[in-house]
Amino acid sequence: MTILRIRTLGDPVLRERARPLERFDASLRRLVDDMMETMYEAPGVGLAAPQVGVSSRFFVYDDGDTGPRFLANPELLPIKKEQVKEEGCLSIPGPFYETPRALKVKIRGQDLGGRWVEMSPEGQLARIFQHEADHLDGMLYIDRLDEVGRRDVMRQLREHELTREMKGSHPSGGRSLT
């Protein structure tokens, strides 16, 4: 397996609307294995195909309870209230910011065999699904913030880049990245 390069803010692939996934074949399974390894190595709790430069509608995730999972062509419906929690993104390395999301969602998508599955998760898993589904539409969590939030994230990003240049470190503080 291979650790893939994670694309970061400024890479146009992160801003494209990804194409529907049509082929559930062996080459997809190999790419998904690499994405799982890349997600765990980061470490992160979710990774969408555009984040590794593949403009296709699927992502991998593991909220710590689910184990390694895959979902393609998701259709997501927010169904319950709002949760505001710190969110970060592997494609915006360093910053975290309190981000509003639906507390509960209904999501339908395809597994690695192409079979349709449906779930109605709450909390952290609902947050991961909303974050990853946004990636497939070319959206990042900073687009869900107000101007103050976006500016704070960009400030954190600059500070993180300076720190990394000096120390070569990549601190996540044990927080979840997607």
Order of strands, sheet of 69-89, starting from the edge strand that comes earlier in the sequence? 46-48, 58-61, 69-89, 92-110, 116-119
**CA dist., res. 119 & res. 132, Å (int):** 15
Site for Ni ion in 42-101 (CB under 5 A): 89
Number of residues that bind Ni ion (CB under 5 A): 2
Look-up: residue for tokens 């710190």?
A: 86
Q: Least Å distance between CB 8 and Ni ion?
A: 10
The reply on whether position 110 binds Ni ion by CB under 5 A is: no
Report residue 2 CA to chain centroid gap.
Answer: 19
Please identify which of the residues 75, 132, 147, 161 carries the catalytic annotation: 132
Active site residue 41: no
Cα 130 to Cα 78: distance, rounded to the nearest angstrom: 9
Interacting residue with Ni ion among 99, 130, 176, 178 (CB under 5 A)? 178
Residue with Cβ nearer Ni ion (73 or 178): 178
Q: What minimum distance in Å lies between the beta carbon of 98 and Ni ion? A: 16
Nearer to Ni ion, 28 or 90 (CB): 90
**Residues recognised as catalytic:** 132
Interface with Ni ion (CB under 5 A):
89, 178
